[in-house]
Structure 1
Amino acid sequence: TSAAVKARADWVVTSGIAAKIVKYLHAQGKKLLWAPDRHLGNYVQRVTGADMLLWQGSCVVHEAFKAEGLKTLRKKHPDAAVLVHPESPEAVIAMADVVGSTTQLIDAVRRLPNHEFIIATDNGIFHKMRAAAPGKILLEAPTAGEGATCTSCAHCPWMAMNGLRKLAAVLEAPIGSPGANEIFIEENIRAKAAVSIQRMLDFAAAEKAGRIQLGD
């Protein structure tokens, strides 16, 4: 989301900590307006039971995964574990052995005994999975089906615009030059956005330290 949206938010969450924070707020009797991803919101709502009003946004990568295609692929690879990012549609999540953030899915590949894995998230993390678990076979979850424009779209075109050459060019460009690609944010927006982000970071630190007990 943009800095302006974060400035209007009470909390900012990542997919890895979303359910914990929502569970914490739900225990306080809070009703939540959730944005932007409806699939992640729907998943969090199901696992926490929270009262949530969902904004109807979605991730262009994860929304493309198809349950029917996944079912077919799983029949071909019955011993494969299915790992799904929670921004995927509900029908795809329902077929998962593990649902989690990219970091949690990387960890699942490392710790699970399966030799094969069907992955429903951006294939840009496959190199980290292979580094964490050399020799294991990774299969892209299919995106074929009604409304699909390809059979394997597990790839974010915007993240793919980043690369080592571009990163090096930015680092080497003098501050203030066109190549520096500086981003300027109005101070009032920056300050307000920082509050919601810091609130998430403080929650994560407190939960890790055992100062917040979420229960079952």
Structure 2
Amino acid sequence: MKMLYPNAAILAHPESSTAVVDLADAVGSIDQLIQAAQNLPNHQIIVETDKSIFYKMQQACPEKSFYIAPTAGEGVRPAGLVHIGPWMARNSLKTIKQGLKKEGELHEISINDKLRERTLKPFGADVVICC
């Protein structure tokens, strides 16, 4: 897609593949990606995250054009652009809460240092990760 829209910015969710994260102009949550879309000078934006973000982005930036990165099952997949997939939409506060309530289970999230640093960058010094 970057070949089709060479001047487009790429916005990605932190769970995207490493190849996508490395290409992205901004990596973050849905709210962070909307803010990035507003702040980036690009008028074309390729979005690599859940499709539900498009309506919010179009509302926030009506003067910009948004393109969803193709998934493995949709047309031709350019190298490095792989959509996160449908499982993101399956998460809800209820299912997360149920999962965290299971006794005797450890809840650990591991991410590589490069992704962690890039994901936390938009927060500045406001976020401290320990342990």
**Aligned-partner Cα distance in 2 for 1:158–1:84:** 13
Q: Shift of the alpha carbon at 1:79?
A: 0.8
1:89/1:158 CA distance change after superposition, 3 Å? closer
For residue 93 of structure 1, give the secondary structure of its aligned residue in structure 2: helix
1:156 matches 2:86: yes
Q: 2-side partners of 1:75 and 1:103: how far apart?
A: 27
In structure 2, the CA distance between the partners of 1:135 and 1:86, relative to structure 1 (3 Å rule), is same
State the secondary structure of the residue aligned to 1:76: coil
Decide whether the 8 Å contact of 2:16 with 2:84 is kept in 1: no
Query: Closer, same or farther in 2 for the Cα pair 1:97/1:79, shift >3 Å?
Result: same
The answer to whether residue 26 in structure 2 is matched with residue 86 in structure 1 is no
Larger Rg: 1
> 1:120 pairs with 48, 64, 69, which one?
48
**Aligned pair in 2 of structure 1 residues 213, 132: CA closer, same or farther (>3 Å)?**
same
Q: How does 1:60-75 map to 2 (within 5 A)?
A: 73-75=1-3
- How far residue 92 of structure 1 moved from its aligned partner, in angstroms, is 1.2
Root-mean-square deviation (Å): 3.5
User: Which has a greater percent of helix?
Assistant: 1
Unaligned runs of 5+ in 1: 1-72, 163-184, 191-206
Deviation of the 1:128 alpha carbon? 0.6
TM (norm. structure 1) is 0.38
Letter in 2 for 1:93: V
Say if 2:15 and 2:84, in contact at 8 Å, map to a contact too: no
Q: Is the CA contact 2:12–2:48 (under 8 Å) kept in the aligned structure 1?
A: yes
How far the C-alpha of 1:213 sits from its partner, in A, is 7.0
Give the paired residue count.
98
- The 5 A counterparts of 1:35-114 are 73-114=1-42
Identity across aligned pairs (percent)? 40
Tell me how far apart the structure 1 counterparts of residues 128 and 14 of structure 2 sit (CA, whole Å).
23
User: In 2, are the aligned partners of 1:98 and 1:108 still within 8 Å (CA)?
Assistant: yes
Q: Under a length normalisation based on structure 2, what TM-score does the superposition of the two structures give?
A: 0.59
- Give yes or no for contact 1:83–1:98 (8 Å, CA) kept in 2: yes
Report the Cα distance in structure 2 between the residues aligned to 1:134 and 1:154, rounded to whole angstroms. Answer: 25
Counterpart Cα distance in 2 of 1:85 and 1:142: 14
